[in-house]
Chains A and B, each alone.
Chain A
């Protein structure tokens, strides 16, 4: 009788051990499946890796939008007037732009940027694979029109940092807000990289 009781006790204890073990393993399996599901569903996890790799490539490579970049370079290389030698590129980073050149620049920029480059902003900004878009501030009314985006307020002191030029220019906030300057900032964002074109001229 006593042996039977002990045997029964032993069986119950063994069964309980297995139930607890099964429960623990079940929980571990759920955690494992949760991790697997997260890995396959959380696209940003993978896109983060992809983006990181793309960012290592220069602004003309990787996932950059070549059409936009080419259009932007076409804009930079455009003559300010027919048969003129001066291009937009010649005004970049210059502080002594004449009023005449500024007017030509304004006319040319409005046509080019609004039609071919600004237009792209809305279509690419929301995409998770946004490669580039361009934003222009400046020329007074443009500042009002597009606003000075607080999100990018850290660019108040922007550096003109295009590897092509290899020089730096400073466009401080006091100049952007000043009425004594015409400030043109053309920011090219390639993923998280910021390429800033900046030109300013005294009124």
Chain B
């Protein structure tokens, strides 16, 4: 029996190396899984894109926006846009008459977006124009603000 080999295998250095490897793997996994991705801006932009896809096509306003259910038209989930949750949108359409406003979610976000800091919601805010299919001279000015404060749990 080779007793010298046995003594090498049982050397405390062996345990030391195993501990280093173990700690390394644990630290690596912890670093990887503890990293949080902040995609609030992109989420806000995605909500805005969903809204635009529902209300406009090739630069023309979808007139159904005035008569249909906004959530059905835009494909957004109404349960996500209630006060106290992580999302908000506000769409105002300026035509010839009074402006028409569609808004849902946590209203406070529109103010939070102006405050710098990581704990506040991130917004997408833009103005644009759309045309009317029925009246070529009609121009709708639209203001869109969407916000998200959904953080990775």
Tell me the A residues contacting B by CB distance below 8 Å: 10, 14-15, 17-19, 21-22, 25-26, 29, 32-33, 36-37, 39-41, 63-68, 70-79, 82-83, 112, 115-116, 119-120, 123, 127, 129, 131
Contact = CB atoms under 8 A, between A and B. Distances in A.
A66 to B, nearest CB: 4
18 contacts: A19-B13, A22-B13, A22-B20, A29-B24, A32-B24, A36-B28, A67-B48, A67-B52, A68-B126, A68-B128, A70-B128, A71-B128, A74-B128, A75-B129, A77-B59, A78-B139, A116-B128, A120-B126
Interface size class of B (residues with CB under 8 A): 35 or more
B60 to A, nearest CB: 7
B45 A65 contact: yes
Contacts of B45: 63, 65, 129, 131
Q: Which 10 A-B pairs have the closest CB atoms?
A: A18-B13, A73-B59, A74-B59, A66-B52, A29-B24, A71-B128, A40-B35, A70-B56, A36-B28, A67-B128
Interface string B124-152: 00111111000011010010100000000
A17 to B, nearest CB: 8
Nearest to A39: B32
Contact of B42 (A21, A26, A66, A129): A129
B16 A10 contact: no
A101 B95 CA distance: 26
Chain B contact surface mostly:
helix
Contact of B127 (A15, A22, A116, A127): A116
B31 interface: yes
Interface stretch (B4-12, B82-90, B99-107, B110-118): B4-12
A64 B53 CA distance: 11
A109 B40 CA distance: 34
A138 B127 CA distance: 24
B126 A67 contact: yes
A14 B11 contact: yes
Contacts of A129: 41-42, 45
B80 interface: no
Q: Which of A29, A66, A79 has the most CB of B within 10 A?
A: A66
Chain B CB within 10 Å — which of A19, A72, A116 has the most?
A116
B1 interface: no
A75 B140 CA distance: 12
Contacts of A112: 129
B11 A32 contact: no
A14 B31 contact: no
